Structure 1
Amino acid sequence: MKCRRVYLGAVLALGYLASCTPKYVPRTKNDLKDNLSRSLVKFEYHKETYEGKSKPLTLFAYDDTTQTVTYAVTDELDKLIDFGPEQKYTFYRKKKFSGYRIQIYRGRNRSEAYRVRRRSYQLFPHLKPYMEYREPSYRIKVGDFVYP
């Protein structure tokens, strides 16, 4: 009798868990995709183009001022003058050098750190002092020295 109750309880628990499963299970990769094209914001971009005719460009020669030379500026050159070449975006990193600074003070007293920094300006005007605070202490370092 006890075994039947355990068996009946297990069957009821499995039946309860089976009823909680979703009714529709996606079967392929395409079933998982949603069509969000209706909710997307659309931006239109039209690149400006020059649709004019070539313009005569008159240049004066410096050697002989009586002579003038006339060139016909083409449409392509006019586009370059008006809009410039297309820029390709590149990222530049700051160059880093391996070097060191000399630490001249380390302590918890802020006023003492400022005093040491002022004194380093007086003693070494050509060396820039750097002050940093890393809890709980102040550090004063001077110079930007590079390894040879």
Structure 2
Amino acid sequence: MKPHTLSSFDRDLDAIRLNVLTMGGQVEDAILNASRALEGRDEDLAAQVVQGDKLIDASEEEINAQVVRLLALRQPQADDLRAAVAVMKMAGELERLGDYAKNMAKRVPVLIAAPVIDGAAGALRRQSRLVGQML
């Protein structure tokens, strides 16, 4: 996107984008750790993922608050408005992915009692790697 005539608008939008990137990293870590916890049947790591979901939820709330503040103060139009709305949607999707990681981690205590399935660990590693690449 081309620079905006108001440098303060660009600074605000850059700060929001940085927060989205940070949130994306948090979600990527959560997914990888949840898959590691499933593969290794690691309840402690699974508990960390479940606890870490609160940080992801808080990140979404902060991003949404920043976007609402940007909309209220700067009243963007056209491309700027679309960018702001897209950021809110991205934050919502990232939060949902964080919930999926949390749900994966919550399955670890159940799987500890189940027998190991041959080949499942490799498939889980491949899938989590692909999800990480998509993020």
* Pairwise TM-score range, normalised by the shorter structure: under 0.3
**TM-score, normalisation: structure 1:** 0.19
Bigger fraction of residues in strand: 1
Highest Rg: 1 or 2?
1
Bigger fraction of residues in helix: 2
